[in-house]
Structure 1
C-alpha cells in the first residue's frame, strides 16, 4: 500500500476525514503599558490535518507555532476566523476527552511521584481504577520509566528528559484520538529522541492523528506525512515531503565512459564536461550501475537529488527575507 507521505494532498483529502480545520484564523495580542500595542501572532491561517496522519508544524522561534496549537486546543481564543477540531468548533469541551496534549514547558506537581501524577491525570478523565492499574504501567514502560526507581521518584527529582517522558505518558493516559505535542523532543538525549520517534510511529500505526511542533527537522523528516512552515504568523507552505522536497527516488549521478546513447535513455538531461558526464537518474540505480559496468563505464559520484527538509526550510525563510544570507 502506498504511504500517505507519497500521496498528493487531494488524494489524502478523498481518503481521510479532516480532524483539524482552520479558516482564516488570526490571533492578535495587546501589549504595552496602556495595552495599546498589537502583536499579530497568527495571520489568516487556513490549514487541514487529516485522520491518521502525522503532521509537523515548523517555524523559527516566535513564528506563532505554540499560539496556533493553543488556539486549536481552545486554550487561546482566535481574534478572527474559525476552526474545527474533530468536527466541533474550537474550544468545544466535548472533544477534550478525545485529545491528548504535551505542552512545551509544562509545570507538574513536583511533590508527586510519576505513578501518582499519572493517577491524578487519569482521575481528571474519570478513568476507572481497574483501567488505571493496567494503563499506567503500560505507559511508564512505553516512555522508558518502568523501572521502580523512576516510578517512585518525586517529579522534582526527575531530569528534564524524564519530565518530558512523563509528560508524554500523561498526554496518552486517556487513549486519545488526536495527540498534540509541543516540542516533544525538547531536552532529550539521542536515545530519548529515538524513543519518542518510535512512540509517535506506534501511535500512527494505531490510527491516531499526531500534530506536533518541532525545531529538530531531521526528526520531522523521518516521521511526518505532511508538514507546514509557519513564519511571522503566516503559513508559508503545506504539503507532503515528496511534494515539497521532490521525489526521493531521483539521484544526481556523475561518471565517465560507456555508450552515451544508452546512458541517455536513463538520464534524459545528460550533459558532458571534458571526459565526464552527469545528470539525474530516476528509479533504482542498481540495474543502471550494472549495465554501465558492462559498457566499461565508471561512476564518480552518486547522491540523492532531493533537498533536505532543513535546506528547504532555510530557503523558504530566505526567500521571504526572514533569514538573510551572509
Structure 2
C-alpha cells in the first residue's frame, strides 16, 4: 500500500490559494485509452468534495494523479498550495490517504502496523489510535492477516485519520463496512470538516455522498458531467407523484398536469367505487414544486403522495445522458 497518511500534525504553510485542491484539465492516457479527459475542479478549504460515478469513470485515476502516484499526460493540479509532482514528503505528511484497493497482510497486529506507519512518517497524538479504533469497534491486538475485509477497511480508516491531516483523500472508504460503521465513518468526516480539514471523497454509493459532501462532481467516462451542491442536486432531483381527485375528467387532469414543466411519465386512469368516481394520476416530477401546488390547488383531492427527491435516480440519469460537461 502506498502510505501517504501517517504523519505528525504540522502547521499549514502560508498559501495564497483558498482551495485545498485545484485540478486543471487533467488528462491521463494509457496507450489508446483516455482514462481522464480534461478534468477540472476546485475543492475549497474546509469542505467535503464528493466524486461519484460508475466503475471505470476515472475516480481512482483522478485521486492517484492528485497524489502524484501517477503522472497526468497533460494538465496539472495544485494540492494544499503546492504542485504534488515537486513537493515531496512534506506535502504527503499533510495528506491522509485511503486507497480503494487496500492491501494489508502480515503476522503483525493492527496496533504494531499503525505504530510502524507512525514511526516512518512522524508521531501521532497519544491515544488517538486507540480512540479511533474504539469508535470503529476495531480490535488492534489481532493479527492483520486474520482480519476480515471490513476490519481491514477500519484499519485503513484509522491510518488515514489518525494524524489529523490537512487533507483527506478517501477512495471508496466504506467498502466492506456494515451500516452502523458507515455512520461512524460519516461522523468522522463531519468532525474533520468542523476541524477545518478538507476531504476529497469518492464513492459509488450516492446516499453516502448525499450525507457527507458539500459539493459533488459526477464523473462519467473520464469527464465531469456536472458539479453541484447537494442542495442543487436535490432541487433538480426526480420526485414520484401520485394523486386521486374527484370532480374532474381524465382528459382535464391529463391536460392540467401535462402542461407543467418537469412532469414526465404521466399516467391517468379512472377509478370507480360504490361511493364516487375518481381519477388517479401518477407521474415523475423534476424541478420546482410551487407550480405543481398551484395546478392542484383547485382540485378536490382524496389522496396525494409526493415522495422525497430520488437523488439516486437523478444521478443515474446523468450517468447515461448526454449532458454537457460542467467544469
Structure 1 residues 250-289: aligned runs within 5 Å: 254=243, 256=245, 281-282=289-290
8 A contact 1:122–1:173 mirrored in 2: no
Q: Residues of 1 paired with 2:25 and 2:93: CA distance?
A: 26
Structure 1 residues 24-173: aligned runs within 5 Å: 24-30=25-31, 38-91=32-85, 92-93=87-88, 94-127=90-123, 131=125, 133-145=126-138, 150-173=139-162
TM score, norm. by length of structure 1: 0.74
Partner of residue 228, structure 1:
217
Task: Give the structure with the higher percent helix.
Answer: 1
Question: Residue 207 in 1 paired to residue 196 in 2?
Answer: yes
Q: Residues of 2 paired with 1:28 and 1:247: CA distance?
A: 34
Q: Residues of 1 paired with 2:113 and 2:302: CA distance?
A: 59
Partner of residue 229, structure 2:
240
Displacement of 1:140 = 1.3
Question: Residue 300 in 1 paired to residue 303 in 2?
Answer: yes
Question: Residue 182 in 1 paired to residue 183 in 2?
Answer: no
Partner of residue 250, structure 2:
none
Q: Residues of 1 paired with 2:197 and 2:302: CA distance?
A: 44
Cα gap change, 1:256/1:99 in structure 2, threshold over 3 Å: closer, same or farther? same
Q: Residues of 1 paired with 2:29 and 2:299: CA distance?
A: 66
Cα gap change, 1:203/1:144 in structure 2, threshold over 3 Å: closer, same or farther? farther
Displacement of 1:233 = 0.9
Displacement of 1:134 = 1.9
Query: What's the Cα RMSD here?
Result: 3.3
Displacement of 1:204 = 2.1
Displacement of 1:241 = 1.9
- Structure 1 runs not aligned, ≥5 long: 1-15, 31-37, 259-268, 322-326
- Structure 2 runs not aligned, ≥5 long: 1-16, 248-259, 271-277
Deviations 1:69-115 (A, max 9, x none): 00001111111011100111123223211110001112224222111
Aligned residues: 273
